[in-house]
Amino acid sequence: MLWLDGRLGAETVAPFDLTDRGLSLGDAVFDTALALDGRVAFADAHLDRLVAGAETLGFSVDPDRARAALRALAATGPRLAIRTTATRGTGPRGLKPPAEPRPVLYATAAPSAAALAFAPLSLWVTGIARNETSPVSHLKTPGYLDAVLAAREAAAAGFDEALFRNTRGRVACAGTGNLFGILGDRLVTPPLADGVLPGIVRAEVLGLAGGVGLHPEERSLALPELLAADAVFLTNSLRLIAPVRAVGETRFASAGHPGLARLVAALTDRVAASCGVPTSRVAEAGGP
């Protein structure tokens, strides 16, 4: 499904100006959210991040229009991945942004497999570095080629996802999610300054940690410290919490870790409350 200019369409093909800077330069931001039975999980947080991302780039997104897009698309299926994109709009040749941008907002919805939620995965440590010095490292923009190439590399090696370190060798993130390690009673995740996206589920997990007996810490992690963790997992809006069963040759029993099981249960409750659905709708694919 496609939402464009307030209209829904079954096709995802629409007229598009080839001078749009989102297409030609990646001058855009986007957001991906989970919708269950007509409601978007953590909708306000997703909208706030989209609006803030556009402001960082120097153009505006109307939050009411973006919310209307989310609501319209969420009503079109039982379990959906909704991607909302805002570009700066058209502009003359060259890199300099136009003085008066004319942003374009559109959104698409596609079925999201229930089996994706809480499913374990394996990580391949890529040699491609995350550039923590770039302001874009904290934004969701269409410039995903590093992640695309790392995903191809991980798949060729027999792994599900790529793990990125930054230019200083510190653990940063996975190709499509934030990384966490459980070390004793501490729940550690890299800080935003290490080239990390402020994930919506990342924030939820940090907020839930204390209630399940874990002490949250945002601090830099060297790869050997992560490999010595009791459990490792990644978060994103569709996978929610994905226990990591391996990072390269290092194996983990993350799925059986009691602290992680408590986090899964707590996050399931939060998603269910946000969408107004029973917990069985969130975790119908099973726990970790």
pLDDT digits (tens, 9 = 90+) for 206-227: 999 999 999 999 999 999 999 9
Closest CA to 124 of 85, 154, 82: 154
CA distances to 98, 144, 246, 268 from 115, in Å: 44, 25, 19, 14
Cα 59 to Cα 66: distance, rounded to the nearest angstrom: 14
Q: What average pLDDT score do residues 74-82 get?
A: 97
Q: Please say if the pLDDT value at position 288 is more than 60.
A: no
- pLDDT band of residue 15 (cuts 50, 70, 90) is confident
Q: Which residues pair with 162 in a beta bridge?
A: 124
pTM for this structure?
A: 0.95
DSSP single-letter state for residue 77: -
- The helix or strand, by DSSP H or E, that contains position 69, with its residue range, turns out to be helix 63-74
What is the DSSP track for 134-196?
A: SGGGGS--S--HHHHHHHHHHHHTT-SEEEEEETTSBEEEETTBEEEEEETTEEEE--GGGT-
Q: What average pLDDT score do residues 106-112 get?
A: 97
Burial class (CB in 10 A: 0-12, 13-18, 19+), 80: buried
- Chain centre to alpha carbon of residue 288: 19
Closest CA to 106 of 21, 200, 31: 31
Give the pair of three-digit tokens for residue 102.
């004319």
Give the pair of three-digit tokens for residue 27.
């001058």
Q: Which residues contact 84 (CB under 8 A, 6 or more apart)?
A: 30, 31, 33, 46, 50, 66, 69, 70, 105, 106, 107
User: 3-class DSSP state for residue 209?
Assistant: helix
- Chain centre to alpha carbon of residue 135: 17
CA distances to 18, 144, 172, 234 from 176, in Å: 28, 10, 11, 9
- pLDDT band of residue 284 (cuts 50, 70, 90) is low
Whole-number average pLDDT of the chain: 96
Cα 137 to Cα 89: distance, rounded to the nearest angstrom: 22
Q: Which residues pair with 59 in a beta bridge?
A: none
Q: What is the pLDDT of residues 219-262, one digit of tens each?
A: 999 999 999 999 999 999 999 999 999 999 999 999 999 999 99
Q: What is the reported pLDDT for 285?
A: 44
Q: What is the pLDDT of residues 182-213, one digit of tens each?
A: 999 999 999 999 999 999 999 999 999 999 99
